[in-house]
Structure 1
């Protein structure tokens, strides 16, 4: 019985340290462009959901997140992307954020 308890406690310590290492290394990773786009879409849908609650909110979020970009949104992206030119990294990210928020239709 002591061996089982010793094994379980050692396993718990090992699993905890492995989880902590994964969490620490995961915090430094930058999201892929697709993940970043999904995060932005989730932010926008969440903002648009406003005070909706329960099933109404769940249905709204499902529809909002599954909707593809509208032609107007696609056009904004094309224009801002073209205007961004050779900008890279944080400079491009900041430019695109400003550009897309400034050109709301």
Structure 2
């Protein structure tokens, strides 16, 4: 269990850095000066795309169970931004 957590933390560090290089959804929305329905639509699509990318990445890394859940949640959060 401890090894799985260690691997997940290491993977998150690399994945988070890669996603940050592209910019977060919120940063891109801000650059585009989106508001209202356009902002909502953009954020939903961006979050869906991030979820798909993060799920694929977790699968490629052969993560499962709690490690996959933790990785995916952190990955999507990093991609969407705060």
Do these two structures clear the TM 0.5 threshold for a shared fold by scoring above it?
A: no
TM-score (norm 1): 0.32
Q: Determine which structure has more spread, i.e. the larger CA radius of gyration.
A: 1
TM-score (norm 2): 0.40
